[in-house]
Structure 1
């Protein structure tokens, strides 16, 4: 994903984008680790850095890593660490000389408290911390606020908007219920802000107040924060929250414009990009029980796949991600959702797919194993793969596309 191009395309506003960088095994479930990019007219900010390597101190959580791809990530002007636990600072070493904003109390505790974090990940060569003893305006309309709770030195990032703040909260809450019924000072602070959305480090989607609807575009609050008088001069830029939504439907039930965009994406990836002249629209989308799944942002289809129902196996195919959206884990989210859907439709059936050979390892992370020899299809090496019935989803990462 070329996020720099995305920044220029949205230079009139601010976009918050989650990036899935790891999974941790927690009580038998895969808990995602997400970092967040703020694209602002005055700079690009990365909130937390995940981790990029395994370490004996955390092997009990069986980490599966999808570390940041610096080429795909693009320019980063500043980093914010919400706190300094290992799954938030493990990528700090990727940003030598880039200012990393942290609360002074948090940095002190990370450097002195036993068993607090992994010290070498906190202080790699070339690290440049900028310490704060309280609130700090990082960019116009973007503030850092201390939020003690998960750790005494935790902080949150607040993007002020006309409809209310958007918060990037780190581990101030680990799951939505902790914001529904707040118990820590940090959680109560977040709720007191009346946020329209709160991004957490261990969920794919933001928490929202139960009475609020999803916000796609909202006008910016003046830099002074909610209630401040607007300044004279150029209009305050618009702020936007990038929310990706998963959709699923039979072809007959899909809006014609959405269906056009889904098919356009498939043709763009499988026929144009991969230079394979074959009938991409093959008639199987119309089979009984066939469903399409896709991810939409701002009315654009960024990723898609297809589920087919068979007597002896379910089948997933046509997994494609738009070039500009790769590196964000969208295909992995779709795969996870598709596996859950297949289990719902036919729990006792395995799931088959035909993977492009270079994606064997990627599909293997979801429990698919190779079941036959490689073969050529439209000049591209493929292999058959199967996921046994009843298997639990494994870890995830992103993919460009796979035909079926």
Structure 2
């Protein structure tokens, strides 16, 4: 396995190297990439018979195809004329090679050839970006998927972005992928208990997932549509139906939060034997999404009145309150330093306590903490008090 990897890596490096030829004594004419051009035989494989004729005559390097001529006091190099070439090969091939050489400048330098990196960059300097792009071109071709900006959105969480990439590549470990790796176990979807688990099912076709997506489309008051894969989802994804910038950000990163939390819910049911109903999971998604938008976006800008309902459905801070806060001319009040907690005298404990109720009346409780003169916690207490105001 190691030697196979080294062999593949060596081939990738070889394909990325090219010769900046001076004298041409080291660059192979037919097999090497020189001056940024790909190898001649890789671009013109039908010239293979002609290359064998030239190689049999000892014409292997670029130097053999150059000839020096004096231009006054200057020595210049030109490509040799076809009548100076070794005999053999078809007339058509020889004519095509002559035209090919005419399209390339003949270097008049007489120094040592220099091996450089990346034929698309004639500077020949290696960089991590150039290396990554070259490996990507060799392994996957010059294909750029249109949905990569959705997957790697800068405002979303990195772990959500990475997991979205796994989903787009069908690489996350759902049961259908685990079975391909030889695992055995229950392949039923734990979210709906009705179908076999797969990437397309658990995130888009499962009844539990569809309920979450229904909540999402309801936020934007748009028609709910369903797909079978993340790639298809991004292909149908359009512009945000709002004009406020932080809501556009929520529209862009919301699907990644939904897919990530569906995966967490799936794992919670398998490994912890716990479950959340769809409305509870939706509230959790809204909480995470709201915290991210408030932390990373400008929430004090002007809000389109038509977008206020979306703010409310996303449980974001009321835009009117943000606008009023901006218009307030009063300076920010100074913090009262005297109101800070202070330690008690030596040998005395200070107890700080509080109570609250969820509703009026509602479930209520009390709690407190006792600390000594050094500020070290000596005890903590809490108690549920039932229904109180």
Structure 1-normalised TM-score? 0.18
| Richer in helix (by share) | 2
The higher radius of gyration belongs to 2
Structure showing greater relative contact order (alpha-carbon pairs closer than 8 Å, 6 or more residues apart):
1
